[in-house]
Amino acid sequence: MKYFVVFFFLVLSSAAIAQDIQPSQKVNGIIINNNTRQPLPNVNIININKVRGATTDSRGYFEIDVQPNDTLHFTILGYQSLRVRVTNDWIKNKSTKIQLTEKAIALEEVIIRPFNLTGYLEVDSKLIPTKENYRYSISGLTQGYEAGEYSPNAFGRVLGSIFNPTDMLYNFFGKNPKELKKLKEMKKDDTVRNLLESKFDRETISVLLGVDKNELAEILQRCNYSEAFIQTANDLQIMDAISGCYEEYKILKKK
């Protein structure tokens, strides 16, 4: 009976390993506007499982590495994002046609309030508001922490947010090892990095990490990044910030 159980687990392990090392295959497709039927260039495609990216050309054509059951995420400004699962028939036929729907966006009135500048540098430099962001370094860590506007307890909050075992960082970083491994994969793929560098909506990075957009902001707050950084940084900077915070969290946890 013992030998049978050992043999059974060996078979399962072999099957799992074989599945993990299954070679990637390429699929392609054409993305069109579902209303005009015209091809859509510059659509961003990311394989969420492999963290690999592609972009459509002027004909709406793309090609990307996949395995069965991978999920592809399609995004382009002004259109509703779309997720498509890679099926066996798509891999067999190699090509497909995907339709994206335009967003209906109502533009609100924007009022621009310029600074009342006098033309004198000495005076105008005092009229324009400034906000200072302070970063604190911890011995043994490669990066510092941005604590936003100065407060006497900023440094304590930095340490407290990391060492508190009930903190969101502990819950997020401790329970999402697979998603966080994607951070390294995201840095390897130039297409993904270029995509994130041009985006500010947090949609792609939240999909890749499997978290809500609001959670991303809260994670960065717990890592003591300022509100100004959270609001204005592009998605690539957000990814690097979370990645850096995660690496430092691992160092402090070991210590």
pLDDT at 35: 92
**Cα–Cα–Cα angle for 36, 38, 43, rounded to 5 degrees:** 115
Dihedral through CA 185, CA 237, CA 222, CA 167, nearest 10?
-10
pLDDT at 147: 47
Convert the pLDDT of each residue in 60-80 to its tens digit.
999 999 999 999 999 998 999
Contact, 234 vs 197, CB < 8 A? yes
> Of 27-31, 94-98, 192-196, where does mean pLDDT reach its minimum?
192-196
In which residue ranges of the chain is CATH 2.60.40.4130 found? 22-100
Q: Which of 13-27, 32-46, 117-131, 182-196 has the highest mean pLDDT?
A: 32-46
One CATH from 2.60.40.4130, 3.40.50.10490, 3.30.572.10, 3.30.360.10 for 22-100: 2.60.40.4130
Alpha carbons 169 and 162: distance in angstroms, whole number? 7
Q: Which of 36, 79, 42, 77 is nearest to 57 (CA)?
A: 42
b/e map 239-254, b = 16+ CB within 10 Å: bbbbbbbbbbbeeeee
Distance set, CA 22 to CA 15, 18, 67, 170 (Å): 10, 6, 8, 33
Entry pTM: 0.63
Contact, 117 vs 127, CB < 8 A? yes
Question: Average pLDDT, stretch 35-62?
Answer: 93
